[in-house]
Amino acid sequence: MNVIRYMPGPEDWAHHFGAGPARLDIAPGDVVQVATEDCFGGLVRSPADLPSEVVPFEALNPVSGPFHVEGAEPGDALAVHFIDIVPSKPTAISSLFPHFGALSPTHETALLADPLPEKVWFYQLDLDRWTARFSALSSDFALELPLDPMHGTVGVAPPAGEQRLVMIPSTYGGNLDTPELRAGTTLYLPVNVDGALLALGDGHARQGEGEVTGTGLECAMHTVFTVDVIKDAAPAWPRLENATAIMSTGSIRPLEDAYRISQKDLVEWVTELLPVDQYDAYQLVSQLGTAPVANVCDPNYTFVSRFPKSVLGAGAAYGGVHARLAAVAEEYRAAHPRIW
């Protein structure tokens, strides 16, 4: 097992997908230990640090990478399996922005209403107890929340030489902000350029479905992942797989079109995996599928549509890539009781 560690600093972070040279070369089967900073670039250090005042817009949501994946060519699928995602600092941060979030007026959601006040919450993380402590700003109320670390932003270079801000989710991945991007999940992304140019960041210690305020529990992460390349298998939209489900994503506005994209892709995927036609698959997805909202705050909204693997049989998707990468994860954990 080839284990590679990458600890970038601010001068190494990327803020676009598809811009700049690769920072590191990796190969299928490599295990990568990577550090990522929070979405504020580490610049919010106290509740008095309002993000709009201390973080330039262009510095939001830095990602680590891009990684050039050996053998990845346009038309392939890149499989990214998350082995572990662990907060690297004892605090996480969440906030309200005056013109951001699902319940705030914005330049695109124009309302005759005042913008929300800008507020910052600091959560104390206890990795031994695997909790985050919420402390209300308006009272002495406090609550322990279970950690559920995930990455909000994972993506590859877009096609046709395009460069996209990391804030935007689309066909290449990006700021999907789904809690499903946790350890144990395999993400399938379309390869659009040689080497794929994978990058990731925007770690959340946990996040509710929809990310309604526009922020999860934003924190720096120590993350371990491995990759594989599936030849000539590029999905139209990012797909996910875990131990119990396959999942399709859709990212666009309005929200109902993001839902339709994810449902259509899931119907097509089920049609590939079962001996049924499109209409039988449509019927099964209608009865067995679930569709959590990933985000309703980013420049594109994201839906995730899920289907149970118990119906499909073991190892059906992409010839069992998820199971093979999960086995690599188990081998890694056996050799590394602490992920770093």
Q: Is domain 3-236+317-335 in CATH 1.10.730.10, yes or no?
A: no
What pLDDT does residue 337 have?
Answer: 75
Contacts of residue 336, defined as CB under 8 A and 6 or more positions apart, other chains included, come to 3
Residue 99 banded pLDDT, cuts 50, 70, 90: confident
Can you give the residue ranges of every domain in the chain?
A: 3-236+317-335
Q: What is the pLDDT of residues 204-251, one digit of tens each?
A: 999 999 999 999 999 999 999 999 999 999 999 999 999 999 999 999
pLDDT of residue 85: 98
Can you give the pLDDT at residue 339?
Answer: 67
Distance from the Cα of residue 205 to its chain's centroid: 12
Mean pLDDT lowest for which of 44-48, 56-60, 85-89? 56-60
CA distances from 288 to 259, 270, 284, 303 (A): 16, 11, 6, 16
pLDDT digits (tens, 9 = 90+) for 260-312: 999 999 999 999 999 999 999 999 999 999 999 999 999 999 999 999 999 99
Reported as a single tens digit per residue, the pLDDT across 179-203 is 999 999 999 999 999 999 999 999 9
* Backbone angle region of 202, left / alpha / beta, with phi > 0 → left and psi within -120 to 50 → alpha: left
